[in-house]
A and B are shown apart, each in its own frame.
Chain A
Amino acid sequence: MKRTCFLSHEDLLSWLARLAEKATVWVPDPDPAHPQVVSYKPFTPGSRPDFRRLPSLSAKGVLYPQGEVLLRFQKDKDPSAPSGYRLSFEDVLPVDCAVLFGCPPCDARGFLVFDEAFLQGPYADPYYRERRERAVVVSRVCRTWDAACFCHAVGSHPADEEGSDVQMIPVTEGHIFRAVTAKGERFLEGVGVQPTLAQHQEAQAALEQGRAQRLEDAALVSPSDDFRKRFSDAAFWRLWTERCLSCGLCTFVCPTCYCFTITDESDGIHGERLRSWDACMFHHFTQEASGHNPRPSKAERYRNRVGHKFSYFPEKHGRIACCGCGRCIRSCPVSMDIRAIVRALSQTEDAHV
């Protein structure tokens, strides 16, 4: 029996305040000057989280900051060293406990892609692992989708619990919280009150409604073979990416894009080795030291974005690297539609001529 509890809207805010004393509680928070911009920020007593709209930015920054310090270094004078200098290093590992609270299911599922990339195989990423192990993910059943949403097409739905420790289900006067994992069970210990039968039924109905919701008809789950056939079809990619501006917006707002760059950033004798978000849509992403660039134009760069999400990653890890949140479509300055491109992969070879 999975633990469930009910919290009224007021009790929810006081629970968040209590949680925030022990951990960083990331909630979707509208910008005071621009309420349509919702991003994840640490909960503070004055916060008014927005659990309705899809945040403009995904939650990936919670476990994978845009700029993460891997180590710090310092250069000191040392006449005994051959160079005249001695370098000292300081390891930096994240130690914060985090609660990602009230994200939509697509954002919670995004981390499953990160788990494959950073935790599987011979080398686990210690920075991501530390954050991941200390984090609890509370996702909400989503009830506000729009024309850019396509979670259904990638095997999910608005009530998906995959990737969440706890599910948050809106009911009259408050929310039902439902443990999904053992971590979620522990997290909910001693929280709230037992839901009434009516609340329980309402939550059940909300879950069933979410599961039944079909946001997109045609599934995008197996385009891998089509992608391979299209790979060298330069005309296809040039045509479909013609309007792309080649900026990095789609990758930065994406919950599953995890590519990074590592740079040493220094101020005088101090500095840090930094891992920061990079984007395969940028030209320098594949720029080689020789000057050669294997992806010289936006057509090859966009092809990589589609291939990584819908072909290379699923072949290697058995999961599409896309959770259907639609941010790359919704936020794009020219509304590039990755769904349309993935669907077009399977059209006949000469369809584009």
Chain B
Amino acid sequence: MADSLTTVLESLWDEVEVVLGWEAGYDPFRAVPAFIRRREDLTKLLWNPLCAPNLSGYLAKTWEKTAEGPKKTAVCVKGCDSRSLVALIQEGLVSRDRLLIVGLPCSGTVDPDALNAARTSSAPVTHVRFTRDIVEIVSDDGTERIPLERVVARRCRRCRHPNPVLSDVLVGDPVDRPAPQDPFAHVRELDAQPLEARRAFWERELGRCLRCYACRNACPLCVCQDRCLAETRSPKWVSQRDSLRDKVLFHMIHTLHLAGRCTECGECERVCPMKIPIGLLKEKTAEIAFDLWHYEAGLDTLVPPPLLTYDPSVSGL
């Protein structure tokens, strides 16, 4: 798969200034964001279920393109990443005409923790291979074969757009996978619990939060960057206390700023060092947006997001 990605980009190289893709990280379980500026480096590109990081966010923040030439920025997107990119274009935060969007149909990304837990050997991994439904892990102890389904991330189990919703070039065949019966099943399951149980759940989960803000910075739609409300000193909304109250307040700010905007890529949850299922909070707002307006964020660049429109004549919401 990575070979065809490289081939496609090699054929388009004359139009491209830089490619945002993935390459091998420090161990075979890690694929990391790559910024490729030389044609010969295209062979470094990786494309497999370990390519979890959503690259769309880089286009709107924390990344500066070094030169502003006439050429395009090529960005590799999975289904979820393409929704984030569409949402950024909808909000005018990313300019569509300077992009070459490389769509990658995706059958789900792998959770490295689940992969580690599923292993029977503890020998260092030397190589990872993927077939259609199997992860093959090669180490000094031999080859372990683990069904992909067992180690797919939660965010991918509820994915209803495995194929990019917007792309200039599609690499690989579209994934033909039935949509999950209820993408909001995890939220509804939690919602079905009594108030006190839900409160206990969130106190336990959010109590572990360090406020390292990895969730915020990994979120492609959290674009305030150095002007985040959670860190303003005047006025100071969130205190420095290591208290549940402040942790909850930060996560509520984060969630509400994503209401009707979140594209459910699940990066916030993936990057949390404390494994807090914070994706659930955003899924709840996505569920509400869907119920209220039948709106799914990041599907159409021409549709204004509902909370970015204001019409005083509308009442009764």
A contact residues vs B (CB 8 Å cutoff) = 31, 33-34, 36-37, 39, 56-57, 65-67, 144, 146-148, 238, 242-249, 251-253, 261, 263, 265, 274, 276, 279, 282-284, 297-298, 329, 331, 333-335, 337, 339-340
User: Does B285 belong to the interface (CB within 8 Å)?
Assistant: no
User: Does B210 belong to the interface (CB within 8 Å)?
Assistant: yes
A contact patch SS: loop
Measured between alpha carbons, how far is A242 from B63 in the docked complex, in Å?
6
User: Does B7 belong to the interface (CB within 8 Å)?
Assistant: no
Within 8 A of A (CB), among B21-68: 25-27, 30, 32-35, 53, 58, 62-64, 66
Within 8 A of A (CB), among B208-262: 208, 210-214, 216-218, 225-226, 231, 233, 239-243
| Cross-chain contact A253 with B273 (CB below 8 angstroms) | yes
Given A65-B242, A263-B239, A248 and B213 contact (CB-CB distance below 8 Å): yes
Measured between alpha carbons, how far is A339 from B26 in the docked complex, in Å?
10
| Cross-chain contact B117 with A36 (CB below 8 angstroms) | yes
Residue from A36, A245, A261 having most chain B Cβ neighbours under 10 A: A245
| Cross-chain contact B274 with A37 (CB below 8 angstroms) | yes
Q: Which residue of A lies closest to B116 (CB)?
A: A36
- A-B CB contact pairs (8 Å), 10 listed: A31-B275, A36-B113, A243-B58, A247-B214, A247-B271, A249-B212, A261-B240, A265-B239, A297-B64, A333-B214
| Cross-chain contact B241 with A245 (CB below 8 angstroms) | no
Chain B hits for A39, CB < 8 A: 208, 274
Given A245-B214, A334-B33, A335-B32, A33 and B62 contact (CB-CB distance below 8 Å): no
Q: How far is the CB of B235 from chain A (nearest CB, A)?
A: 13
Measured between alpha carbons, how far is A65 from B64 in the docked complex, in Å?
36
Given A56-B274, A67-B242, A245-B62, A335 and B26 contact (CB-CB distance below 8 Å): yes
| Cross-chain contact B218 with A333 (CB below 8 angstroms) | yes
| Cross-chain contact B275 with A36 (CB below 8 angstroms) | yes
| Cross-chain contact B53 with A334 (CB below 8 angstroms) | yes
Q: Which residue of B lies closest to A241 (CB)?
A: B62
| Cross-chain contact A337 with B26 (CB below 8 angstroms) | yes
Given A37-B274, A67-B240, A334-B33, A245 and B217 contact (CB-CB distance below 8 Å): yes
| Cross-chain contact A67 with B243 (CB below 8 angstroms) | yes
Pick from A37, A265, A340: contact of B26, CB below 8 A: A340
Given A284-B231, A329-B26, A244 and B62 contact (CB-CB distance below 8 Å): yes
Residue from A261, A282, A334 having most chain B Cβ neighbours under 10 A: A334
Given A243-B32, A282-B231, A337-B26, A33 and B204 contact (CB-CB distance below 8 Å): yes
Q: How far is the CB of A61 from chain B (nearest CB, A)?
A: 9
Chain B hits for A283, CB < 8 A: 225-226
Chain B hits for A243, CB < 8 A: 32-35, 58
Measured between alpha carbons, how far is A37 from B207 in the docked complex, in Å?
13
Q: Which residue of B lies closest to A267 (CB)?
A: B239
Chain B hits for A282, CB < 8 A: 213, 231
Q: How far is the CB of A130 from chain B (nearest CB, A)?
A: 19
Chain B hits for A238, CB < 8 A: 64, 66
Pick from B117, B124, B216: contact of A147, CB below 8 A: B124
Measured between alpha carbons, how far is A216 from B57 in the docked complex, in Å?
33
Q: How far is the CB of A126 from chain B (nearest CB, A)?
A: 20
User: Does B282 belong to the interface (CB within 8 Å)?
Assistant: no
Chain B hits for A279, CB < 8 A: 212
